[in-house]
């Protein structure tokens, strides 16, 4: 197996300047001759009965593609998700989990014991079986048989498709690839009004924001389905969080922050500040996403389906104009969670809200400070999101407004 890190690519639409990222780990699988030609996984599930089981409320797939990068932090993400659901009053019966090699007893979870690399068998419980493409297809097919809302969580590694960044992939067990388009074609079979929300934390996960399109292809137009997602980072960049280290207190990644914001409890059991920014008595997925943007102290650039859609609609000239507007002026059109993101990040960066992002960035360029460079990128993205939404509303085109409201509704849900 070949694994490597691609050279990091600065986001084309942001202000120029070097961006340096520190990564805990990011695994890549081998590129098959035809990325679209997925060979079916004929290996049976470790646990029979998948095809007859009713669709779960919560579906989890996780693990590395092989033992060499099936890090213990990924398994611990699954445990934290289980604790999050418990904190939110959900029962284990509402969740179905497929992880790595399943329950065959093989020691595939990689972890560090001091300076020594060791392996252990997965201990996720309950578990349906291995996180293979065959099982994912079966699980999604089962979920398509009813209109029950589905929350899908993927924690693992991602594949960067350099030929088409809009069709990156999740790396499943046995190093098979589930691409954006193959995944979305499964979602297209679900009832259009079936609520579907996903959280994905793999490298290059932002590509899966394309699940809002028919067949996952932006050229085919937005699907009528009620679905949305939240992603650790944009489609062109790796994410952090895959480590063999065992101490969860040291974890700084999107999963840690998103689920802390959603439940109000960190992965180490500590209460966190409320992410109920609009004070309506509940924390929406969108508010948990906002919490992650200001809580996560790592190089991720979180993005959602709505945000990716809005940013794609901006021209280079639009972006330049927005980033030269006074930040305070942009905040006049922001929702509560956006105000929180902008004001907190601006404070962390020492920015003057009366000045534009570009002026602030020029005068207070965080040279050599990787975290502040990340905060600067996140802030610029948030300002673009706010103004892009304003422009969609101002143009008043019925089709675009319908997409906007559908995505806002989907992302505004909560567990």
Q: Which residues are within 8 A (CB) of 9 and not within 5 positions of it... i.e. 6 or more apart?
A: 236, 237
Residue 227 pairs in a beta bridge with 196
CA distances from 404 to 100, 141, 316, 387, 389 (A): 36, 28, 21, 13, 8
For residue 58, give the H/E element and its range: strand 58-63
- β-strand partners of 226: none
Alpha-carbon span 304 to 175, nearest angstrom: 26
Sign, CA dihedral 120-121-126-129, equals positive
Kindly report the backbone phi and psi dihedral angles of residue 119, in degrees, each rounded to the nearest multiple of 5, phi listed first: -135, 145
d(CA 349, CA 300): 17
Taking only the tens place, the pLDDT of each residue in 134-188 is: 999 999 999 999 999 999 999 999 999 999 999 999 999 999 999 999 999 999 9
Distances (CA, A) of 59 to 72, 131, 135, 149, 191: 20, 11, 12, 11, 17
Q: CA 156 to CA 232: how far, in whole Å?
A: 11
Cross-strand pairs, 265 = 271
Q: What pLDDT, on a 0 to 100 scale, did the predictor assign at position 339?
A: 98
What are 174's two structure tokens?
A: 């046995």
This prediction's pTM: 0.88
pLDDT at 101: 98
4-18, 221-235, 317-331: segment of lowest average pLDDT: 4-18
pLDDT score for 57: 86
**At residue 17, does pLDDT exceed 50?**
no
351-398 pLDDT, tens per residue? Answer: 999 999 999 999 887 667 899 999 999 999 999 999 999 999 999 999
pLDDT band at 312 (very low <50, low <70, confident <90, very high): very high
Q: Distance (Å, rounded) from C-alpha 337 to C-alpha 261?
A: 12
Say whether pLDDT at 20 is over 70.
Answer: no
Structure confidence by residue, pLDDT tens digits, 208-220: 999 999 999 999 9
Where would I find the beta strands (DSSP E) of 121-167?
150-159
- Averaged pLDDT score across all residues of the chain: 88
**Residues present in the chain in total:** 415
88-102, 104-118, 182-196, 360-374: segment of lowest average pLDDT: 360-374
pLDDT of residue 91: 84
Inter-residue contact 137 to 50 (CB < 8 Å): no
The more confident residue out of 91 and 79 is: 79
pLDDT at residue 321 in the model: 98
DSSP per residue, 178-225: EEHHHHHHHHTTS-TTS-EEEEE-STTGGGGGGGGBGGG-GGG-B-SS
pLDDT at 283 over 60: yes
**Residue position matching structure tokens 């407004």:** 401
Is 22 a residue whose pLDDT tops 70? no
Separation between Cα atoms, residue 82 and residue 295, nearest integer Å: 21
Contact indicator for 334, 275 with CB cutoff of 8 Å: no
Q: What are phi and psi of 177, to 5 degrees?
A: -110, 130
Helix, strand, coil share (%) of the chain residues, nearest 5? 40, 15, 45
Question: How far apart are alpha carbons 181 and 183 in whole angstroms?
Answer: 5
Spell out the alpha helix ranges (H) of 264-334.
285-295, 305-312, 316-322, 327-331
Q: Is the pLDDT of residue 299 over 80?
A: yes
The string over 32-51, giving b where at least 16 C-beta atoms fall within 10 Å of a residue's C-beta and e elsewhere, is eeebeebeebebebbbeebe
10 pLDDT above the threshold of 70: no
Question: With contact defined as beta carbons under 8 Å apart, do 409 and 284 qualify?
Answer: no
pLDDT at position 366: 65
Contacts of 68 (CB under 8 A, 6+ apart): 1, 3, 110
Cβ atoms of 28 and 3 closer than 8 Å: yes
Q: Is the pLDDT of residue 25 over 80?
A: no
Tell which wins on pLDDT, 105 or 51: 105
Q: Is the pLDDT of residue 16 over 70?
A: no
Of the two residues 214 and 53, the one the predictor is more confident about is: 214
- Looking up tokens 């081998």, which residue turns up? 30
- The partner residues of 326 in beta bridges, in order of sequence, read 356
Tokens standing for residue 331: 């905040």
Q: Is the model's pLDDT at 23 over the cut of 70?
A: no
* 256: helix, strand or coil: helix
Average pLDDT value for residue range 45-57: 40
pLDDT at position 26, please?
Answer: 58
């Amino acid at each position: 197996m070949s694994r490597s890190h691609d050279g990091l690519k600065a986001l084309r639409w942001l202000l120029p300047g070097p961006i340096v990222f520190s990564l805990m780990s990011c695994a890549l699988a081998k590129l098959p001759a035809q990325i679209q030609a997925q060979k079916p996984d004929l290996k049976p599930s470790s646990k029979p009965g998948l095809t007859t089981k009713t669709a779960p409320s919560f579906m989890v797939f996780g693990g590395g593609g092989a033992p060499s990068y099936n890090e213990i932090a990924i398994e611990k993400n699954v445990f934290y998700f289980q604790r999050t659901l418990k904190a939110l009053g959900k029962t284990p019966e509402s969740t179905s989990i497929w992880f790595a090699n399943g329950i065959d007893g093989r020691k595939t979870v990689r972890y560090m014991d001091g300076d020594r690399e060791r392996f252990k068998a997965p201990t996720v419980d309950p578990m349906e079986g291995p996180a293979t493409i065959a099982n994912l297809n079966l699980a999604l097919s089962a979920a398509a048989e009813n209109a029950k809302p589905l929350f899908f969580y993927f924690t693992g590694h991602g594949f960067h498709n350099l030929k088409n960044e809009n069709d990156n992939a999740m790396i499943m067990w046995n190093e098979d690839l589930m691409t954006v388009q193959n995944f979305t074609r499964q979602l297209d079979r679900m009832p259009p009004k079936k609520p579907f929300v996903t959280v994905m934390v793999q490298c290059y996960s932002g590509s899966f924001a394309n699940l809002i399109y028919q067949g996952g292809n932006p050229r085919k137009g937005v699907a009528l389905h009620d679905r949305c997602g939240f992603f650790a980072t944009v489609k062109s960049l790796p994410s952090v969080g895959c480590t063999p280290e065992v101490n969860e207190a040291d974890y700084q990644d999107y999963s840690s922050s998103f689920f802390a914001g959603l439940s109000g409890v960190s992965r180490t059991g500590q209460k966190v500040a409320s992410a109920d920014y609009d004070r309506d008595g509940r924390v929406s997925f969108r508010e948990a996403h906002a919490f992650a943007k200001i809580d996560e102290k790592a190089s991720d650039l979180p993005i959602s389906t709505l945000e990716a859609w809005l940013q794609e609609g901006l021209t280079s000239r639009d972006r330049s104009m927005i980033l030269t507007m006074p930040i305070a002026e942009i905040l006049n059109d922001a929702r509560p969670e956006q105000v929180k993101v902008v004001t907190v990040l601006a404070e962390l960066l020492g920015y003057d809200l009366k000045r534009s992002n570009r002026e602030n960035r020029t005068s207070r360029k965080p040279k050599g400070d990787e975290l502040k460079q990340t905060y600067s990128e996140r802030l610029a993205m948030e300002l673009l999101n706010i103004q892009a939404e304003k422009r969609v509303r101002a143009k008043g085109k019925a089709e675009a407004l319908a997409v906007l409201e559908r995505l806002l509704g989907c992302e505004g849900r909560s567990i």
